[in-house]
Structure 1
Amino acid sequence: MSQEDKYYRLESEQGVLGSIMLASLQGDIGMVEDIVSQMTSADFHHQDNAALFEAIRDCLGQRMPVDAVTVGSVQRLLPSGQTTMAYAATLSRDVPSTANWKAYAQQVKKWALVRQFRDLGRAVDVGVGEDLPADEILDQCHMALADLRDLDTGEPDYKRMDDVVARNVDIIDAKFNGAIQAGLSTGLSDLDKLIRGLRKKTVTIVAGLPGSGKTTLGLQIAQHISCAGLGVGMVFSLEMPEEELANRALASLGSIDLQVLDNGKLEDDDWPRLTCAVNKIMDKPLYVSDKSGLTVPRIRSICRQVKSKHGLDVVVIDYIGLIGSDGKAFNRTAELGKISTGIVNIAKELDVPVILLAQLNRDSTKRLGKKPIASDLRDSGQIEADAHCIILVHRDMDSEEGQNGATELLMPKCRHAPVGSCIVQQQGKFARFVNFAGREPSQEEVEIGRPFSDQYKGRKKP
């Protein structure tokens, strides 16, 4: 081994690059982006490894998949003369798994710092020999020390409880003094009282039968948070195209009939409402993605991009049944369980509330009263187990109340509030919910099956 070869570890550099190639082949784009974001080509001492890393970065920059063929198309030959495709294929084959990529990356980063300090020592000798000012020499030393401090050695996986308690007391005090809110507002006062605000690091399941209004509710919450200046919203619509989402937002904010926006037959008084809606949403931090079949790693990656560039305060995903699979689970129930757990991890990692929409099976329609329960969540009990809060959207279209838009939001599970329910008013033509202006039904009205009927007819009950 030459003296220069002692200043790096070839197997660690190849381990990092091989992990990137393997993660990409497994469809874990989030891991690929994590590794690449933590490394630079300067961290790799071997010229072929540095060149391959740059080719990988170029692929990501051009939104190309990362594999032996694509990196070979970006850069055909490596500095040694070997083809990039052949070298990348060898690394993909020789790295057994991606499990140890962090250890490989740590070694590469550490040896890069060793070389930096070696070069710094040489630079100090040159600076002293050239009679440079001490301040200039020390500036170079400070830069190297900063890199050393920034080296990610990993945080412990445990904390002292008194440290957590002390931080919580500060948060409680801030809430008491009104400095911070307990949770983000949904824009619906009775729903806010029910769930006590959307909390960070939590997953709220909003579920309902097709056409119940769950998409309307999810989009409206993100829209309210963004347009009211409460934070940054990100909406993933795996089923509905972005154009339809935009029209729903305009209808909701401008009180314009959604059908009119769709067919373009606006009346004279619709145009001022449209202008008002545009002004309400213009320059507001609400972002959407209508890409179909997104996997959990891809959703995580997009969320990280938004958080890095704009900040992030709430994520809405419509809906869990359309999230793509990595193909490793043996049945759909297991797949959805894995997806559900992955969404919980996103909420914790990014420190945001996630609203995850889901469909209910039709068992509730066969039940007396037709009210859904948490076990009606389609395909996976794991979804029910993972959720911090579950909201079931129930609108009985066979009843007079349901036909007039009365929608009950049932909350059978919540880890930070007692279970309960509230009534909201659905305005279908405006694609929105509003606070219910009537009153809760009396027990007598419930028994005779005619709650709210007088209110909907515009008459007060004597």
Structure 2
Amino acid sequence: MSYEKISYTIAMPESSNSRPRRRNQTPIDTNYGHLQPQALDIEKVVLGALMIDKDAFTVVSEIIRPETFYEPRNQKIFKAVQTLNLAEKPVDIMTVTEELKKEGTLEEVGGPGYIVELSSQVASSAHIEYHARILQQKFLARQLIQFASMIETDAFDETVDVDDLMQKAEGKLFEISQTNMTQDFQQIDAIVKQAHDVLMQAANSKGLTGVPSGYHELDRITAGWQPSDLVIIAGRPAMGKTSFALSIAKNIAVDLRQPVAFFSLEMNSVQLVNRIISNVCSISGTKILRGDLTADEWERFDKNIQKLSGAPLFVDDTPGLSIFELRTKARRLVREHDVKIIMIDYLQLMNANGMRFNSRQEEVSTISRSLKGLAKELNIPILALSQLNRTVEQREGPDGKVPQLSDLRESGAIEQDADMVLFVHRPEYYHIYEDANGNDMHGMAKIIIAKHRKGATADVTLRFRGEFTRFANPDDEDFTQLPADDGDNPFSGGEIIGSRMNDGPLPSLSSDSDTPPF
């Protein structure tokens, strides 16, 4: 084998004083080496204006913070101005100098001479808000550069899991956006017009101003699920929380044909749709699972399954869904499909990956606060299922079994953020067959409105058939005429399919049902 000699020709630069670039050497990219976004002259102008106008701080206090300034000594000076304002002390050259001297940082910032220089560079504070917003934009740009650099470094690290990096990136970006989010005020005229439009809508729709639930008494009290509301639906195991949520979704999407998004964190989409089929077709969920249908049930199936065709119900079964993923998907659903309501099953299975917390309670607090913020941003109601702790099982007597707000897990955060808290309660599960008024509670459920920011608290009674995953109005004739499942009382709770929501010991089952609760 012969080898051919290869010659390299190196092009010399035009300037004879320049060194030739070595072969295969990467040329220097002059696009790198940028200075960090900054506006030092404007920083000085803002600080000067703060020391000549006693009202200037109130204008910029919600726009900038000490870390907004790029120059470290300007950060210290602004912090001194901030301290004086919070203490309701006058702010001028002398007081700022004294405050810096007290903090031991006067010489670090350049001494009294630098303070005098700042105040001498500005004649008035007329444009301080505009200047402050420039500094805020520069600060945000620096944060994004730091964020991008961190993600780039981790992306090159082959030991870092890409999925974890995605969660971390979403969490950090969310943190930056929340920190820099501002809301401008509105003059009342526009808001009065909105309130008038809502009033006219209520008058023209028999009191409904939100998304109807499909339950007459519940809608009478709530006027429908209201825009921007966070609604928590909670209950102990076997009460039928998921059945109630799916019944609402079915009423809205199938019967009323209004778009609904259902995020299921504990069961896959096929399991979820099987429960909806059970609801719509009035066929036991167990029989659908086994494919063991009678001739009459096949007839009901063929007759009613068409109702689901084209129904605007959007199902997402992403396990371990993070609040950041939810925000992205929810925005797209509202934008592309005009979704009117979002439902989440259930809150405690969500996470806020990418952010650091000292406890799970802090994380749940962030999740519930973010859900409320998302509801306001999209201007639609969000319904989230939640667990209750076991305190209710330890209380004695019929009244002791009724859920309370204090029974909510991480109740401090969830209760505070929620506009409405509903409890699903079935007295017959605890062998209680009559309510305080002597009404028969066999096959009945109480929807307890325990918190309602926009109206009264109350109890709503509904009929319940667990084997059909269905709640219905008490006067629903079709519901009362449904056949019993395998000879059971047609008004009994029926079967409840197992669910991950019910981890740990469950309350004892009633005599009317011997199947696992969910």
TM-score, with normalisation over the residues of structure 2?
A: 0.57
Aligned to 1:430: 468
Aligned to 1:411: 449
CA distance in 1, matches of 2:155, 2:290: 46
RMSD: 3.6
CA contact under 8 A between 2:425 and 2:448: conserved in structure 1?
yes
Give the 3 Å change call, closer, same or farther, for CA 311–372 of structure 1 in structure 2. Answer: same
SS class of match (1:339): helix
Counterpart check, 1:67 vs 2:142: no
CA contact under 8 A between 1:238 and 1:322: conserved in structure 2?
yes
Name which of structure 1's ranges 285-294 and 321-330 shifts more when overlaid on structure 2.
321-330
CA distance in 1, matches of 2:311, 2:298: 21
CA distance in 2, matches of 1:96, 1:226: 34
Report how far residue 180 of structure 1 moved: 9.2
Which of 231, 239, 264 aligns to 1:237? It is 264
Q: Deviations over 1:30-79 (max 9, x none)?
A: xxxxxxxxxxxxxxxxxxxxxxxxxxxxxxxxxxxx93469xxxxxxxxx
Give the 3 Å change call, closer, same or farther, for CA 436–24 of structure 1 in structure 2. Answer: farther
Report how far residue 170 of structure 1 moved: 2.6
Which of 217, 224, 236 aligns to 2:244? It is 217
CA distance in 2, matches of 1:192, 1:216: 18
CA contact under 8 A between 2:404 and 2:450: conserved in structure 1?
yes
Counterpart check, 1:393 vs 2:457: no
CA distance in 2, matches of 1:278, 1:309: 26
Aligned to 1:382: 413
CA contact under 8 A between 2:233 and 2:386: conserved in structure 1?
yes
Residue identity opposite 2:359 in structure 1: N
Which of 338, 341, 344 aligns to 2:372? It is 344
Aligned to 1:124: none
Aligned to 1:110: none
Report how far residue 333 of structure 1 moved: 1.4
Report how far residue 308 of structure 1 moved: 2.1
Q: Deviations over 1:268-303 (max 9, x none)?
A: 122222223321111111011111111111111111
Aligned to 1:99: 176
CA distance in 2, matches of 1:373, 1:264: 40
CA distance in 2, matches of 1:434, 1:24: 54
Matches within 5 A, 1:363-382: 363-367=391-395, 368-369=397-398, 370-382=401-413
Q: Deviations over 1:89-126 (max 9, x none)?
A: xxx9xx999738999xxxxxxxxxxxxxxxxxxxxxxx
Give the 3 Å change call, closer, same or farther, for CA 159–14 of structure 1 in structure 2. Answer: closer
Matches within 5 A, 1:163-174: 163-174=190-201
Q: Deviations over 1:196-247 (max 9, x none)?
A: 2100100111000112111111122122211123521111111122111111
Report how far residue 305 of structure 1 moved: 1.7
Residue identity opposite 2:414 in structure 1: I
Matches within 5 A, 1:99-118: 99=176
CA distance in 1, matches of 2:213, 2:447: 13
Structure number with greater Rg is 2
Report how far residue 24 of structure 1 moved: 9.4
Residue identity opposite 1:193 in structure 2: R
Aligned to 1:254: 281
Give the 3 Å change call, closer, same or farther, for CA 20–228 of structure 1 in structure 2. Answer: farther
SS class of match (2:213): coil
Q: 4+ residue stretches of structure 1 with deviation over 4 A?
A: 9-18, 20-25, 95-98, 100-103
Which of 458, 461, 485 aligns to 1:420? It is 458
Aligned to 2:220: 193
Residue identity opposite 1:99 in structure 2: I
CA distance in 2, matches of 1:274, 1:159: 53
CA contact under 8 A between 1:313 and 1:353: conserved in structure 2?
yes
Counterpart check, 1:269 vs 2:346: no
Aligned to 1:354: 382
CA distance in 2, matches of 1:424, 1:164: 37
CA distance in 2, matches of 1:156, 1:328: 26
Report how far residue 191 of structure 1 moved: 1.9
CA distance in 2, matches of 1:317, 1:297: 14
Percentage identity across aligned positions? 28
CA distance in 2, matches of 1:325, 1:277: 40
Residue identity opposite 2:358 in structure 1: F
Which of 337, 343, 346 aligns to 1:310? It is 337
Give the 3 Å change call, closer, same or farther, for CA 380–272 of structure 1 in structure 2. Answer: same
Residue identity opposite 2:196 in structure 1: V
CA distance in 2, matches of 1:100, 1:189: 41
Give the 3 Å change call, closer, same or farther, for CA 321–375 of structure 1 in structure 2. Answer: same
Report how far residue 329 of structure 1 moved: 1.6
Aligned to 2:230: 203
CA distance in 2, matches of 1:286, 1:356: 16
Note the residue ranges of structure 2 that are not aligned, 5 or more in a row.
1-29, 38-140, 159-168, 435-440, 477-489, 493-518
CA distance in 1, matches of 2:268, 2:174: 37
Name which of structure 1's ranges 330-339 and 163-172 shifts more when overlaid on structure 2.
163-172
Aligned to 1:286: 313
Note the residue ranges of structure 1 that are not aligned, 5 or more in a row.
26-65, 71-91, 104-153, 439-454, 458-462
Which of 294, 299, 308 aligns to 2:326? It is 299
CA contact under 8 A between 2:246 and 2:469: conserved in structure 1?
no
